[in-house]
Each structure stands twice: as C-alpha cells, then as structure tokens.
Amino acid sequence: MILTVTLNTALDLTYRVRSLRPHASHRVSEVVERAGGKGVNVARVLAALGHEVTVTGFAGGGTGREIRDRLAGVPGLTDALVPVAGPTRRTIAVVDELSGDTTQLNEPGPQIAPAEWGAFLDRYDELLPSASAVALCGSLPPGVPVGAYASLVRVARAHRVPVLLDTSGEPLRRGVAARPDLVKPNADELAELTGSHEPLRATQDARRRGAHAVVASLGPQGLLAVTPEGRWRAAPPAAVHGNPTGAGDSAVAGLLSGLVQQLPWPDRLARAVALSTATVRAPAAGEFDRAAYEELLERVAVTGVVSAA
C-alpha cells in the first residue's frame, strides 16, 4: 500500500469561460467538481495505475463530506482521513478557453486544533507499518506546526518507509533537513529554498541540505533529477498545450510508482514526465489521458547531465 498525506485537502472547482477579463461578468460554459489537494490527486493517479493507495489528512464540514463521498467511488483507494470541526477549503480554477491559461484561487483551509493534530499523528503512526512508501504533499492548514513535515519525515524513517516530500516555503526547508528520501520542488520552490535560479546548481544544493534525492519540476522542460545514482534530465517529446492543473501531482505519482516497483531512475523519470504531460493534455483538470500516457512513455527523452561546478 502507498500512503499519501494531504493535510490541506480541498474540494476543487474548475470553471471554463470563453475569455477571462478583469472587472467583467462571465458566462461559465462548464463546471467540474472533484476531491483535491496534492496528495489526493497523487492517490487518484496511483489508483488509476493499479496501485493500492490510502489517503490520510483532514476533512471537515460539508466540503469534507463531499470529498469523502467522491473518494468512496475510486477503485483501489482507501479513505483514512481524520475528521475535524472546521470546513475543508475549496480551490477555484478558472480556465480561459481562448488563451488556455488557468487562474487559481486557493482558500487557506480550516483551523486545526491541537487535539485534531494529535489524532492525525496517531492515525499516521497506525498506517505506516503497512505502507511501501509515503508521500507528504501540499500546504499546511492553519494550526498545524510549521515543522510538521519534518516530524512526519522522521516518523516514516523510524518505520523504514521511503518518504517523498512535495511542499514549499518554510515547511520544505525544515522538511529537507529531516532527510527525506526524495523531494520534488518546482523551479520557484527550488529557488526560494536555495537562493539559486540555475536549476542544476540549485537541485544539487537542495540535496546537500539533506534530501537523499531531488527531482525538480521545470514546467514544460520536464524534470531534473540529482540522485546518488546519477543526474538526469527528462523532457516531453514536444511542446504541450492544455491545463497544467495537477500535472506536478501526476509527476509525483509516477515517481512513487517507479519507487515501489524498484525501477531504474531513468524509467521512473520517464513515467513521471509521461503522466505529467498526459495530465496537461486531458480535458478535465487533474485527470490524465491514458492513451496519451502510454504513447508518451515510449517517447520521453531521458539524458544524463554533467554536474554543475
């Protein structure tokens, strides 16, 4: 079983409009609702790939009930979310059909009480012995300690469970120092962590800060990996147009899938890039086009790179 942790789950709403203009009224051509938050998105992709996956984190209020109802229909996915008093947040993505751009609005999430945080820690400790890997994903809701991910990394390491960390800001800085097996920042998160905007140098610096391996997401340019086994770039075969919502989460799912199947690093990266690209191509935000994924998997270019000075 793969365990994904989403401390700030969300009900994702996607609106499609012909053209998004400030200070104007818009007719919405389509509305899509789905259970979200980074770890939930990762879990859904893993389940679609055939993995058994368990989701934990927090869920509360009407939005929390809606999330749990939607997760109940996903084959291969087990709901181990911890109930809280506050309502789970919503995120709103507005897709401009003419430009293809997406505007994202993210609510902060519910206030988590100390007793609720303690209940989650108990649940996490119960689930880890059955996990083949764990992913710690996304932002922290109010009330959760800023060092939460660092603590969760240490608990996973104590259970000898490989742990992937995908977050940003101070939670990422503290989490990296706890020595996770893998971190997956995007270019902006990597620059904020290291102070460097040169991708290879920044990725190597992130690894020196404590992570066993670092895979940086460079948007349309694909992934850059610095690992004990080597350094690689993995890129999609051509420029991709579509909705990037959830593409990074699909990449995390590909990396986790390759990890638990003990694939060589180039194969893990090819799977991650193919899934990410197929997610951008899919008509619904955060889903992936399976036919596109299978076709792309054979065409992703993975090349070794020379270390930065």
Residue 96 annotated as catalytic: no
Pairing state between β 53-59 and 2-6:
parallel
Name residue 183's beta-bridge partners. Answer: 165, 214
Pairing state between β 10-17 and 89-96:
parallel
Q: Which residues contact 145 (CB under 8 A, 6 or more apart)?
A: 117, 151
Distance CA 37, CA 34 (A): 10
Distance CA 107, CA 36 (A): 12
Joined together, the tokens standing for residue 291 give 């036919």
Pairing state between β 163-166 and 133-137:
parallel
Catalytic residue, chosen from 166, 181, 249, 289, is: 249
Q: What are the C-alpha distances in Å from 29 to residues 23, 241, 283, 284, 289? A: 19, 20, 13, 13, 22
Give me the active site residues, please: 249
